[in-house]
């Protein structure tokens, strides 16, 4: 199938498919005589796997680690559990951050007195931004993260 057909079948934009190819998550397909990419079932299945991982908010590094195990089915899968455990920890931290964000937004909402010039919400947003910036915190940090170091995949064994 051509890229448009794969895109439609997986509800993925063609640009995203090309990005996954560029990142090495999706193998480069053979080309037709007309230089069109020709995808097979293996591309469809791998892309579905990647998309499911992304829907679980996994980083590309975490997906890359899981794909290495998928490509080496005889390997010990403890590292897969480690990747998932770290991801679960991230989700737990993110939930805590979002609850704090929720609380902060509700507190800001309660500060409005109806006049923009004296709006407690606007003043609160200024002070929150300044206090977080002064403390060295990112103002927009909820949900952002770097991939954990151990998600880079299985350690190489002596025989590799």
User: Tell me, what's the pLDDT at 94?
Assistant: 94
Q: In this predicted model, what pLDDT tens digit does every residue of 56-93 receive, in sequence order?
A: 999 999 999 999 999 988 888 898 999 999 999 999 99
> Is the confidence at residue 138, as pLDDT, over 80?
no
- C-alpha distance across the termini of the chain, in Å: 35
Give the Å distances, CA to CA, from 49 to 128, 129, 133: 40, 39, 39
pTM confidence score: 0.69
Mean pLDDT across the stretch 137-155? Answer: 46
Distance CA 28, CA 81 (A): 28
């Amino acid at each position: 199938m051509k890229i448009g057909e794969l895109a439609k079948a997986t509800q993925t934009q063609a640009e995203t498919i090309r990005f996954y190819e560029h990142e090495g998550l999706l193998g480069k397909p053979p080309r037709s005589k007309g230089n069109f990419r020709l995808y097979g079932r293996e591309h469809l299945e791998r892309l579905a796997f990647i998309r499911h991982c992304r829907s679980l908010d996994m980083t590309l590094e975490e997906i890359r680690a899981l794909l290495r195990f998928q490509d080496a089915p005889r390997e010990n899968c403890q590292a897969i559990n480690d990747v998932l455990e770290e991801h679960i920890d991230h989700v737990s931290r993110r939930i805590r951050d979002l609850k704090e964000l929720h609380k902060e937004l509700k507190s800001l909402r309660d500060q409005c007195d109806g006049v923009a010039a004296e709006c407690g919400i606007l003043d609160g947003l200024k002070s929150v931004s300044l206090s977080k910036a002064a403390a060295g915190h990112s103002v927009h940090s909820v949900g952002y993260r770097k991939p954990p170091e151990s998600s880079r995949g299985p350690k190489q064994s002596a025989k590799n």
